[in-house]
Structure 1
Amino acid sequence: MNGWIQAGTVEELRVQGPKLIKGGIVVFYHEDEVHALDNRCPHLGFPLHMGSLCNGILTCHWHHARFDVCSGGTLDPWADDVPVHDITVQDGAIWVNPNSRNGKQVQLYKDRLLGGLEQNIGLVIAKAIVGLMEAGVPETEIAAIGIEFGVKQRRQGWGSGLTILTAMTNVLPKLDKQGRILALFQGLLRTTRDSAGSGTRFLLGPLPNTGVSEQRLTEWYRDCIEVRDTRGAERVLLTALQTEAEEKRLFSMMSMAATDHFYMNGGHTLDFHNKAFESLKYVGEEQRNDVLASLVPMFGDASRSEELHSWQSPVNLVQPLKEAFDELSDKEVSSGGGGSGIDDEELLQALLGDDPLSTVRVLKEALLGGASPVRISQIAALAAAERVVRFHTQNDFGDWISVLHTFTHAHAVHEGLIRSADPWLVRGIFHTAATIYLDRFLNIPAAPRPAAIEAAEEVPQPTELLEILDKQQQVAPAAAWVIRYMRSGGKPESLFNILGHALLREDAEFHSFQMYEAAVAEYDRWSSESGPFAEKARETLIVAVTRYLAAHAPTSRETPHTAKIAWRLHRGEKLFEDK
């Protein structure tokens, strides 16, 4: 019995009761048989030897989780199964294998993760994430399990949960280990909650004729979306996918439909498209159909802003934009991310101005003059971030979401143009410009920018920001702190990590996740440039995300507490004892 543990005799066990042996294993004698299990209840770690055993069921006395003493299987899915160990009896002596039967831990954790997603059990999901990460499984592989689940188990298609999961997977390189655990947990938990009670999504089939041209399929797809025929649009899309069309061409086809109408669904439609295409780098090729088809249902009831009164009165924004689109479609517009051909500061001020017709004219002339749509969209995203920086807390609290929507839509346009350089997507720049104009009243009065703050003698510790955000109404102090941090030579890597923790330690609402990820991505785009304008752009993005997170903190922090419990359990801590 090399390596096995001697656990006394059967007679001793029968008389004396459960016995603890090294390795955290408990041995029971029950109904004339010997059983060995891990002594820690898989739910919250309470010692199982303190439980009760009756009729083959071992019950933990802390939360009454029940386990089959033979297999370790639980009758309560929220508790997980308890690992069991093989035993053998020789001449009355009991020997226990120190290695549990659950030897293939990676597959076990993957199964538990999927089971947690299916049953919407947060603690099971959290423990599976920790187990997989500790086993060395790539974090993107863990996220992929959730993405595949989400696109198949939400009948309404792509939603906020999958958007959060993709956004948090994007920012994993910005976070330390604890932050990465929290990011995956927040994303996976929001995905399962978004899918709960929805029902499985079954795809339609492609059209039998796969010889239809790409141009014709694009026309059909846009026509179906125009009349909100999502089932017809899905079949057309799946037909295009069957032809193995390139990703950028698929994005062009779908983004055309998303920009045929103005600022659809408050900007979420294009933002969700951007996130879904970003998620493709995390999942296998076989999941592409499910991911992209999940975008179609949202068109069924998406709002179209050209139908809104605010877009037509007191200033009619709709007609000038349509005229600009007609003029741009008649002439060749530059594509790609080359030189700007524009003055960045002048364009920024035009976007933030009070004359929308002038702004439309400036954008149109820049595009016709050969300016890069990618650069223009980058400046538009910066202008949208400036609206967040200037957002005054005297506004109604719910209006934070208005400036947030504009910024995340602008970011989606920017990323979309980088992905495909499709001339049709330039319409999204104009939609962003219109919403930046409509948001102008949320900057009256404008919140003062903390510009007069001087550098500290020593770089402030990033954890100081978390202390500030432990209190409500700390928007201005938090913004002042990050300005001081940056001007004192603080590293942006540490700052984004601590901002990530400021987000992930909260029971944050959907838009906070969007804000953090979009600001990080836009900051990275500016980080390759030097000069006063790029430096101020980076500062703007950091102040914007800090102010938004500060406005929405603190919360009850129940969600991160669950992840903390899972992490402590994995490390073997005794939750039932006082520290």
Structure 2
Amino acid sequence: MNGWIQAGSVEELRNQGPKLIKGGIVVFYHEDQVHALDNRCPHLGFPLHMGSLCNGILTCHWHHARFDVCSGGTLDPWADDVPVHDLTVHDGLIWVNPSSRNGNQVQLYKDRLLSGLEQNIGLVIAKAIVGLMEAGVPGKEIAAVGIEFGVKQRREGWGSGLTILTAMTNILPKLDKQGQILALFQGLLHTARDSAGSGTRFLLDPLPNTDVSIERLTEWYRECIEVRDTRGAERVLLTAVQAGADESRLFSMMSMAATDHFYINGGHTLDFHNKAFESLKYVGQEQRADVLASLVPMFGNASRSEELHSWQSPVNLVQPLKEAFEELSSKGISSGKGGPGIGEEELLQALLGDDPLRTIRLLKEALLGGASPVRISQIAALAAAERIVRFHIHNDFGDWISVLHTFTHAHAVHEGLIRSADPGLVRGIFHTAVTIYLDRFLNIPAAPRPSAVSASEEVPQPLELLEILDKQQQVAPAAAWVMRYLHSGGKPEPLFNVLGHALLREDAEFHSFQMYEAAVAEYDRWASESGPFAEKACETLILAVTRYLAAHAPTSRELPHTAKIAWRLHRGEKLFEEE
């Protein structure tokens, strides 16, 4: 019995009731048998020796979770199973193994995470994430469980939950450990909520003939999307996947259909495509078909902006765009590696100006002149971020979403062109340019850009920003603090970590997650460069995300409280005692 714990005699246990022994283990005598279990209720940690045992069921008196005393299995899915310890009786004395029967803890946590997703139980999801993170499982491996679940368990296909999950997985390197747990929890819980009650998604079969060229499959796919035939489009797409088309070709095929019409679904369609393709690096090759097919349903009832009055009157923007696309198609454009073809500041100001026809002409001439579509799309995303920096709080609160949609669409176009140089996606740059123009009234009057005159000799502590965001309507003070931090020599790494916590400590709505992740990604692109233009671009992106998060805080913060409970339980803290 080397290493086992002596728990007294069977006779003592029978006469005196449950006994606590070293290691947080409780020993029960019930129905002529001895049982040893962890004493902490796996729901919220209440001592099980204070519960009741009747007819083989151990009941915790705090939230009435019930457990089979023999196996530790719970009758209540929200409570988790109680770890059980092996024991033996020798000469009337009880000996207990200090190690529970639970074998592979990592697999148990993964199974529990999947169960939490299926049942949409936040605390179960949070506890599984904490357990996996503490066991050293990489965050992207934890996220993969949710991605694989979400693409199969939401009949409507890819949605906001999976977008949040992918975005939060992307930004894990920007966060400390607590932030990473919160990011994964927010993403996985939103995926569970988005899938709840939806029903399983079953894929169609690919076409029998996989020898069809990718060019022909692309043509068929676009034709199906054009007439909103999502079932036909899915079969064509799966045929391309089965034929072995690489991710670049598949993205070209799908994004071309997404840009055949203007600014589909307010920009969400292209943004969702970008996130789905980003998620492929977190899941196995065998999940690729499920992930990509999940994008097709959103085309069934997609809004097409060329049909909107605002795109046709008082300025007809549809016809000039069509003419520009025809000219670009007939003359051809290269995937140039040079600059935008005109001065970067000039292009930025044109995008922010009030002459959309001039902007369309400048973009067309730059592309025909061999300018880099990637670089032009990067500057377009910067212009969209500038709209957020100059968004005046006298606007209707809901208009924050308008400038947010433009920015995340611009970011998706930028990332998409990095992934694939397909000329069809270049049309997305023009769609972005028009929405930036249509958003111009949200900068009238323009909010003043914070000045750098308040720089201090000592760098402000990043946690000060969280204190500012504990109050409502702190858009201007938060932006001013960030400007002072940057011009006092503050480093971006701790700032992005704190901004991440400013997002993740809230019951944030979908667009706030989009804003943070897109701003971080665009910032990283500019931060790899040097020079005044790039430096100001970095500053613009930080100000944009700060102002947006400040406008949407504080909230009730129920979700991060659940994650905090899970972490405290894992560390063995007693939630039922005063702090």
- Class of the TM-score when normalised by the shorter of the 2 chains: over 0.9
Equivalent position of 1:18 in the other structure: 18
Whether 1:487 aligns to 2:493 is no
Between the aligned partners of 1:529 and 1:247, the Cα distance in structure 2 is 28
Q: Which amino acid aligns with 2:91?
A: D
- 1:343-362 maps to which residues of 2 (within 5 A)? 343-362=343-362
**CA–CA distance in 2 between the matches of 1:234 and 1:90?**
66
Equivalent residue letter for 2:145:
I
* One-letter amino acid matched to 1:25: I
What is the CA-CA distance between 1:246 and the residue it aligns to?
1.0
Equivalents in 2 of 1:52, 1:235: separation in Å?
57
1:16-50 Cα distance to aligned partner (Å, 9 max, x none):
00000011000000000000000000000000000
Pair 9,338 (structure 1): closer, same or farther in 2 beyond 3 Å: farther
For 2:482 and 2:337, how far apart are their aligned partners in 1? 31
Report if aligned partners of 2:336, 2:370 keep a CA contact under 8 Å in 1. Answer: no
Q: Tell me how far apart the structure 2 counterparts of residues 249 and 489 of structure 1 sit (CA, whole Å).
A: 44
Q: 1:278 — aligned with what?
A: 278
* Secondary structure of the corresponding residue to residue 6 of structure 1: strand
* Residue 208 of structure 2: aligned partner: 208
User: Partners in 2 of 1:46 and 1:532 — Cα distance?
Assistant: 58
User: Which residues of 2 match residues 390-401 of structure 1 at below 5 A?
Assistant: 390-401=390-401
Measured in 2, the distance between the counterparts of 1:301 and 1:49 equals 57
Map Cα deviations across residues 379-401 of structure 1 (whole Å, 9 max, x no partner). Answer: 00000000000100000000000
Q: Is it true that 1:310 corresponds to 2:313 in the alignment?
A: no
**Is the CA contact (8 Å cut-off) linking 2:336 and 2:371 kept in structure 1?**
no
CA drift of 1:241 comes to: 0.3
Matched with 2:498 is: 498
Who is 1:133 aligned against?
133
CA RMSD of aligned residues (A): 0.7
Give the Å deviation of 1:103. Answer: 2.1
SS at match of 2:540: helix
Name the CA distance, whole Å, in 1 between partners of 2:90 and 2:136.
Answer: 38
Q: Secondary structure at the match of 1:77?
A: coil
Other-structure match for 1:324: 324
Match of 1:146 in 2: 146
Q: Deviations over 1:467-511 (max 9, x none)?
A: 000000000000000000000110100000000000000000000
Deviation at 1:340, TM superposition (A): 3.6
2:510, 2:48 → 1: CA distance?
39
Q: Contact 2:182–2:560 at 8 Å: present in 1 too?
A: yes
Q: CA contact under 8 A between 1:336 and 1:417: conserved in structure 2?
A: no
- Alignment partner of 2:94: what SS? strand
* Per-residue Cα deviation, 1:497-536 (whole angstroms, up to 9, x for no partner): 0000000000000000000000000000000111111111
**TM-superposition CA deviations, 1:337-370 (whole Å, max 9, x none):** 4444331100000000001101100100110111
Structure 1's 250 and 577: CA in aligned 2 closer, same or farther, altered over 3 A?
same
Query: 1:284 & 1:452 partners in 2: Cα distance?
Result: 47
Could you list the per-position Cα deviations for residues 224-270 of structure 1 after superposition, in whole angstroms to 9, with x for gaps in the alignment?
A: 00000000000000000011001100000000000000000000000
Deviation at residue 334 of structure 1 after TM alignment: 1.9
Alignment partners' CA distance in 2, 1:531 and 1:212: 49
CA distance in 2, matches of 1:474, 1:200: 43
Matching residue of 1:49: 49
Residue identity opposite 1:115 in structure 2 = S
- On the 8 A contact 1:274/1:412 being kept in 2, the answer is yes
Q: Percent identity?
A: 89
Work out whether 1:363 is the aligned partner of 2:363: yes
Q: Which residue of 2 aligns with 1:67?
A: 67
Q: Tell me, which stretches of 5 or more residues in structure 2 are unaligned?
A: none
Residue in structure 1 matched with residue 445 of structure 2 by the alignment: 445
What displacement does 1:454 show? Answer: 3.1
* 2:34 alignment partner in structure 1: 34
1:106 has 2:106 as partner:
yes
What's the counterpart of residue 77 of structure 2?
A: 77
Rounded Cα–Cα distance in structure 2 between residues aligned with 1:337 and 1:518? 23
- Mapped to 2, the partners of 1:341 and 1:16 lie a distance apart of 87
User: Any stretches of 5+ residues in structure 1 without a counterpart?
Assistant: none
Q: Which residue of 2 aligns with 1:7?
A: 7
- Partner residue of 1:119? 119
Q: In the alignment, is the contact (CA less than 8 A) between 2:338 and 2:370 conserved in 1?
A: no
> For 1:491 and 1:104, how far apart are their aligned partners in 2?
41
Partner Cα distance (1:259, 1:454) in 2: 45
Provide the TM-score with structure 2 as the length reference: 0.99
- Alignment partner, residue 425 of structure 1: 425
Q: Is the 8 A contact 1:336 1:421 kept in 2?
A: no
State the AA in 2 paired with 1:163: T
Question: In 2, Cα distance between the equivalents of 1:323 and 1:454?
Answer: 49
Distance 1:456 1:196 in 2: 50
SS of the residue corresponding to residue 78 of structure 2 reads: helix
Whole-Å separation in 1 of the counterparts to 2:342 and 2:538: 19
Structure 1 match to 2:543 = 543
Distance 1:169 1:483 in 2: 28
Secondary structure at the aligned position of 1:454 is classed as coil
1:93 maps to 93
Amino acid at match of 2:472: Q
Contact 1:147-1:283 at 8 Å conserved across structures? yes
**Counterpart code for 1:386:** E
Q: Which amino acid aligns with 2:396?
A: D
Counterparts of 1:164-563 in structure 2, within 5 Å, are 164-335=164-335, 337-563=337-563
SS at match of 1:319: helix
- Per-residue Cα deviation, 1:36-80 (whole angstroms, up to 9, x for no partner): 000000000000000000010000010000000000000110011
Q: Read off the aligned partner of 1:35 and give its amino acid letter.
A: H
C-alpha deviation, 1:452, in angstroms: 4.4
TM-score where L is the length of structure 1 = 0.99
- The alignment of Structure 1 onto Structure 2 pairs a total of residues equal to 579
Asked if the contact 2:452–2:484 (Cα under 8 Å) also holds between the matched residues in 1, the reply is: no
Contact 1:241 1:289 in 2 (8 A): yes
1:300-350 deviation per Cα after TM superposition (whole angstroms, max 9, x unaligned): 011000001111111111000000000000112121544443311000000
